A and B are shown apart, each in its own frame.
Chain A
Amino acid sequence: MLHDRFDQILAATLVLILAAGVFLLATAGPNQGPHAGAGNDRQLEREIVYQARLSFLQRRYGPVVELRDSGALQEALLKLEELGRDLPGEAHTDLLSGDILLRMGQFDRALIKLAGAVRRNGDYIDSGSPLNRRPLIESAVAEGMPLVRDRLRAQPDNRSLAMVLKDGYYLQSRLAGGCE
């Protein structure tokens, strides 16, 4: 079978590779089974991503929060406009806009922004999440909805207000535990 030296070298290499494969299979197997390991890895990855997101949000939106807390509400809104250039569609921009507009007494605009934030990221109404902002959203709904309803009663054909009301109902439903 092994006619010349080249055949012999090939056969020896093949045997060596097979032996190495068997050795690796025998020694590298995890104790808890492959599925448990992968699960742990995924959970760890999720946790790392979540922590990274939190730290990212704190770093990028920190100046907005500082302006808001010092009462510079318009400057805070402008800072959000600026951030919107780098982070278009980021739910946290909508969340903070809603927060600031609520403080400015712009209830209808606040409801629109907060509904947009919750649609993009359900963590804002998850009591167990570090991003939970339920008190803010509850107060926007509690203060804003009666005003929107009153205005809509006086102007039943105001489509923009009807859309705000729909956003308010969406928030109410999510706060009550309803799904998307």
Chain B
Amino acid sequence: MKYPKLFKSILLCFILALSVTGCEQVVEGPPLRIGYMNCNSAAETMQRFRPLTAYLAQKLGRPCETVPVDTQDFEERFAAGEFDFVHTNSLLYIILKENHALQLVATEQRGQFGSRTAGAIIVKRDSPIQSLQDLRGKRMVFGPQLAPTGYLAQYDLMLQAGFDPERELDYYAIPRGSFKHEKLIYAVYFGEYDVAASPVLDLEIMTREGKISADDFRVLAQSETIPYCTFGAAKENDPALTEKFRKALVELTPDVAVEIDGERLKVLGSAWVDGFETLTDQDYDPIRVMAKRVNMPPYQEF
């Protein structure tokens, strides 16, 4: 009689162990909507962030939905209560923070500067332009207007150097459509423009991918580093849920994978992210200072 009892105990332990290790958290309840700012296209956003959303759903035990959002529409849609969490660039974070009390959750890490990045003003290596003052009468191409390191940082650099882009450049433009940052780098490379406002991260990635050579360009000026893309939470969220969301992000490691359409995909790799870090709202103050100097939202005055 002694041995069957022992056998039953071992079996019970085995079943318990299986129940703990073999099952993932049950995903149930009303879905959480996560708005992701489009970088290039809605299709690309979906492809990048579906694995991350699936991972978050597992960790939170709630179904989560990936919603691609156009940068220009973001504030209006967020104000309408469409999203529980958002992933935006750092300027949009400040706009939503100041105007709609968005809560800082975590900052994305990518590239040499980790959770921070910078904006650069670049010319071709053999360009006669040697300083910002030499830009007088030249043709310049910027990134999209709400890009912190593709527009704001460079515009601010010029104002700080006593150069008014509105009056002193011959002409400036913003590329149309997707892949704006790549387009403006190529625009300088092929001589369409004399100078470009390029995010340092795009230069880094294009160099790493062999699309450009480090010898092709010269950096005329570069901004201080500022926080990169950011996750925020709506102020109405349960603080415990927001904390769980933050923890799930900062605990992510490169080997974490989820199943999407029958394929195992690495969560960070798919999203083009190295990791997430918890910054403080004060870390975003340099962007606030720039936005005020450049007279941009949320501090714009007419």
Contacts and interface: CB of A to CB of B under 8 A. Distances in A.
- A and B bind: yes
> Is the contact region of chain A dominated by helix, strand, or loop, or is it mixed?
helix
B45 interface: no
A77 B112 contact: yes
A27 interface: no
Nearest to B219: A74
A166 interface: no
A62 interface: no
A79 B214 contact: yes
A81 B213 CA distance: 10
Contact of B120 (A74, A82, A154, A158): A74
A72 interface: yes
Contacts of A81: 204, 207-208, 214
Contacts, number: 61
Given A77-B204, A81-B207, A82-B214, A106 B225 contact: yes
B275 interface: yes
A155 B278 contact: yes
Contacts of A37: none
Contacts of A145: none
Interface residues of B, number: 27
Contacts of B116: 106
Interface in B101-123: 109, 112-116, 120
Interface string B251-284: 1000000000000000000000001011010000
A148 to B, nearest CB: 13
A97 B204 CA distance: 13
Given A82-B207, A109-B114, A75 B218 contact: yes
Contacts of A77: 112, 204
B167 to A, nearest CB: 28
A82 B225 CA distance: 22
Interface string A81-103: 11011000000000001000100
Interface of A: 72, 74-75, 77-79, 81-82, 84-85, 97, 101, 106, 108-109, 154-155, 157-161
5 contacts: A74-B203, A75-B214, A75-B219, A106-B113, A108-B114
Given A77-B204, A81-B204, A109-B112, 4 more contacts: A74-B222, A157-B278, A159-B277, A160-B275
